[in-house]
Chain A
Amino acid sequence: MSTTTPTTTRLQIPTPLRSFTGGNATVAVTGDTAGAAIANLVEQFPDLKQHLYDDEGTLRSFVNVYVNDDDIRYLDGPDTRLGSDDTLSIVPAVAGG
């Protein structure tokens, strides 16, 4: 039985999605893994769901999630563990020109 509090992490929101987070560039999210932290973000801001998840509820394949400077695709994917000193980021595509 675990009695530890879930990890709280700073999640950086890219400019194009800040209209969904009340203009905030960072949001405090809880979760011990990257996947749980993103799920917590969507619980806080449900309108983000369609932009981050497909109809089956999995993270859309092009959504780039980084823990500090590392793409979670090259770590353990959504199961990548988070520590309280980590910074999580959703990184946008390179747009236009």
Chain B
Amino acid sequence: MMPTTRSRPATSPIRPLQPALHDADVVRQIGQTPLIDLTPLAPRRKPGVCVLGKAEFMNPGGSVKDRPALRMVQEGLQSGALRDGRTLIDATSGNTGIAYAMLGAALGFPVTLALPANASDERKHLLRIYGADLILTDPMESTDGAQREVKERVAAEPDRYFYPDQYNNHANWRAHYDGTGVEILEQTEGAVTHFVTGLGTTGTFVGVSRRLKEANPDVRCVSLQPDSPLHGLEGLKHLPTALVPGIYDADLADDNLHVTTEAAQAMTRRLARELGVLVGVSGGANVAGALRVAETLETGTVVTILCDTGMRYLSEDFWNQAA
């Protein structure tokens, strides 16, 4: 694959995050997403059961990844690892990269991202619009190959880069521990009984689960993975055959579900057609898993994550299938 090289206009110095930040800044619009009632999708549920989806697609970058990206950037600015003259570099399948690129544009630092060449065209286009430089890596190696490429570049020129390393940076799950998890507790007034979400970097699952279990040890946390090493669930990892992120904590999972790509795609279509909620296929996978959990309950409040906007996948074929 040919790396894409573009010259970027000279950037002004990184704008400080505090105290110049004010309510109109795009980064202040990250988080505080609504919970959407998904219960109508589960007709077989018992009357005392509800299913809620955290509308992360409403973040300004269009995905849940705005949260960990902001936290990692904030910690980088605070520690000085991200400072004038340095470029943020990381491996990403797209959404974290879009968040980094948006933050780079908003705060004034350059961004270079490694991603597999087969990431969706919408994503690559969006990254370039925000001004990021892209390194397209071998599709056969998925994001694992992108991670290796970044590590090599950082090792060769350590002073040039700020490398947040989202797979191994504790700021990733802390963003959800201090943000997403707290919001779920507040928005459900502590009524949440089950949390279900898929594993990618695992930051959402780890951070939210830790916070919910701290508030109520009886909350059951269910992680979700593709059923097969070969799958179409962009953003999710089949951990037995992938590099396991350093931030992953398997002990937090009370149960682990497997979802087929076909079931996730079908649920993604149902969300759009029956509720008017347009999300990507990882959100569809999460809702499919959450409904499976909900249908086993006598009573309870099941919360899951609507990870990103479906606008990012409009060119995919699965939208056109019946039902």
Contact = CB atoms under 8 A, between A and B. Distances in A.
A62 B234 CA distance: 11
A12 interface: yes
A39 B261 CA distance: 21
A95 B140 contact: no
B104 interface: no
Contact of A96 (B118, B200, B229, B265): B200
18 contacts: A14-B230, A15-B142, A16-B229, A51-B228, A51-B230, A52-B230, A54-B262, A61-B317, A62-B318, A64-B118, A91-B118, A94-B115, A94-B120, A95-B143, A95-B234, A97-B93, A97-B95, A97-B167
A97 B241 contact: no
Chain A interface size, as a band, is 20 to 34
Contacts of B65: 97
B228 to A, nearest CB: 5
Given A12-B140, A93-B231, A97-B201, 14 more contacts: A16-B142, A16-B230, A17-B230, A19-B229, A51-B228, A51-B230, A61-B317, A62-B232, A92-B229, A93-B233, A94-B93, A95-B238, A96-B93, A96-B237
Interface in A47-94: 50-52, 54, 60-64, 73, 89-94
B258 to A, nearest CB: 13
Interface string B217-247: 0000000000011111111111001100100
A73 B320 CA distance: 14
Chain B interface size, as a band, is 35 or more
B301 interface: no
B193 interface: no
**Do most interface residues of chain B lie in helix, strand or loop, or is the interface mixed?**
loop
A15 B140 contact: yes
A5 to B, nearest CB: 28
Could you say which of A19, A25, A64, A92 has the most chain B C-beta atoms within 10 Å of its C-beta? A92
Q: 7 tightest A-B contacts by CB?
A: A62-B232, A16-B229, A96-B200, A96-B237, A97-B201, A16-B241, A94-B93
Contacts of A15: 140-142, 144, 241
B283 interface: no
A55 B71 CA distance: 44
Given A95-B142, A95-B237, A97-B65, A16 B118 contact: no
Contact of A14 (B95, B119, B140, B318): B140
Contacts of B108: none
Given A14-B230, A19-B241, A51-B229, A95 B119 contact: no
Nearest to B233: A93
A96 B231 contact: no
